[in-house]
Amino acid sequence: MPTPLAQEIDYQGLPAIQLRSPDGAEAIVLLYGGHLVSWKPAGGDERLYMSDKAVFKPGTPVRGGVPVCFPQFGTNGPLPQHGFVRTRMWEKVAARAGEDFAMATLRITDNEETRALWPHAFQAEISIGITGSRIDIEFEVENTGEQAFEFSAALHTYLRVKEVEEVVLEGLRGQTYRNLLNKTEVEERVDTGVGVVIDRETTRLYYETENPLLLRETQRSIGINTENMPDTVVWNPWEETCANISDMPASGFRRMLCVEAAVVRNPVQVQPAQSWWGRQTLIAM
């Protein structure tokens, strides 16, 4: 039986926490961005996509894994794309391994730099827990100021696939979505397919996706469950856009599909001294 651990390590020149549960599940989370960069279920292979050209330096988002988008999703607002917490250092709150799990919690709080961008006092935590074939990623935001604020957020999960054209994302039939590729299009559509198949550039925002999802490959699958994050973003840049992304290899789009737990359509409103949380759970099959 592998020795469980929760230890601080260096990962690509950045401080990180490496987790290993007694059954052999493993994960690595950077203090930079509170960014999960690796997850291997017990006895299995890597299930998160990390770009071979990812940049690991302060001020630059890391391409792949699970970036934390907060307090703004995308470019729908005045802040930098996907907010600012993914390019700032977090602090370790806890890291431990027990009889059947390993977990770590990281925290970021407002400071002079964040208040210059977004004038609110807050505390945010990301908690990563692994056991067997399961990983839980929980994001919590507390309003530590004296005024209410609102935000949008996402766990921008890059799932590793062997060939994106051969996967099917099940569970979204009958769900309403908006195509975000067309910035001027506001029309909402209903997904009528048996499953989402990726054969072109795809950026869809699905609303109120309460059902569990299943990303099915030929010989393996990933179950995807969320709590308190009602929206789902499905993204693949496809060939032309991927070629223009400097921190992705030209063929990188073939090895990934983002299935993101999000709260976008109706931003979260948090009163002073109150908090909000959301969670994404992945189960390797």
3-state secondary structure of 105: strand
Which domains does the chain carry?
A: 5-284 (2.70.98.10)
Percent helix, percent strand, percent coil in the chain, to nearest 5:
10, 50, 45
CA 218 to chain centre: 24
CA 225 to chain centre: 13
- 80-114 pLDDT tens trace: 999 999 999 999 999 999 989 999 999 999 999 99
- How far is 200 from 181, CA to CA, in rounded Å? 11
- 114-164 pLDDT tens trace: 999 999 999 999 999 999 999 999 999 999 999 999 999 999 999 999 999
Residue 209 has what pLDDT?
A: 93
Q: Which two tokens stand for residue 254?
A: 């073939």
The residue behind tokens 């496809």 is 238
pTM surpassing 0.85?
Answer: yes
Q: Which two tokens stand for residue 270?
A: 């948090």
| Pairing status of strand 195-197 against strand 202-206 | unpaired
Cβ pair 190, 209 in contact under 8 A: no
